[in-house]
Amino acid sequence: MTNKYQNNEQDRRLEVLEGHIGTLNSEMGNVQKCVSGIKTDLEWLKKTYWVIATASVGALIGVIISLFNK
């Protein structure tokens, strides 16, 4: 009799666990969509970075050239 109760309890716990796994899968899908939205929102930052990096390298080259001209 104890084995049957234990099997019923194991079945119940597995059903609960499967329900939680389904919930986790759906929530992880939502998180993945949100993260991809953040990635596309940061495109402007990449463009700004390249503008600043190009200006900085240009200024550095200009300073080096001016040092050699003196």
Q: What is the pLDDT of residues 14-43, one digit of tens each?
A: 888 888 888 888 878 777 777 776 666 667
Exposure b/e, 39-55, CB count within 10 A at least 16 = b: eeeeeeeeeeeeeeeee
Say how many domains are in the chain: 1
Q: What is the pLDDT of residue 37?
A: 67
Encode pLDDT of 45-56 as tens digits: 778 888 899 999
> What's the chain's average pLDDT?
80
Q: Residue 28 — φ and ψ, nearest 5°?
A: -65, -35
Distance CA 3, CA 16 (A): 20
Q: What is the pLDDT of residue 33?
A: 74
Which residues span the domain enclosing 59? 2-69
Distance CA 63, CA 55 (A): 12
